[in-house]
Amino acid sequence: MAFEVVANLSELPPGSLTEITIGDKQLALCNVDGAVHAIDGVCPHRNGPLGQGALHGSLVVCPWHAWEFDCITGRHDYNPSIRLDTFAVKVEGNDILVDL
Ligand code: FES
């Protein structure tokens, strides 16, 4: 476990979402009101790319069949027993670092 620079803050303004691939890991990075969060980027429904979806508040909407997950907790919006991995994030200057 170590923090790695994965993106630039200037490319992830508040209200935006992006997909990051580090090695064999796919993450969804979201900026909720200026706070950056990271969750597993692979949807547990049918492996949709969550980082290519939409961000509504703190909810990431899968682009394939619209399942929604909280980007802060990783929880599915209707079924909290479905939960994505979350990753610690810190911002240093313009660098976004994730603990992988
Ligand atoms: S693959 Fe994400 S909702 Fe179906």
Residue tagged 């911002």 (tokens):
91
Q: Which pTM was predicted?
A: 0.95
pLDDT of residue 38: 98
- Residue segments in the chain with a per-residue pLDDT below the cut of 50: none
Distance of CA 83 to the CA centre of its chain: 13
pLDDT of residue 59: 98
Q: Give Rg (Cα) of the chain.
A: 12
pLDDT of residue 60: 98
Taken in order of first residue, the domains within the chain and their CATH numbers are: 3-99 (2.102.10.10)
Rounded to the nearest angstrom, the distance between the alpha carbon of 92 and the centre of ligand 1 is 33
pLDDT of residue 58: 97
Atom of ligand 1 nearest to the CA of 67: 3
Q: Is the CB of 51 under 6 A from ligand 1?
A: no
Among candidate residues 8, 9, 55, 61, the one with its CA nearest the CA of residue 32:
55
pLDDT of residue 78: 93
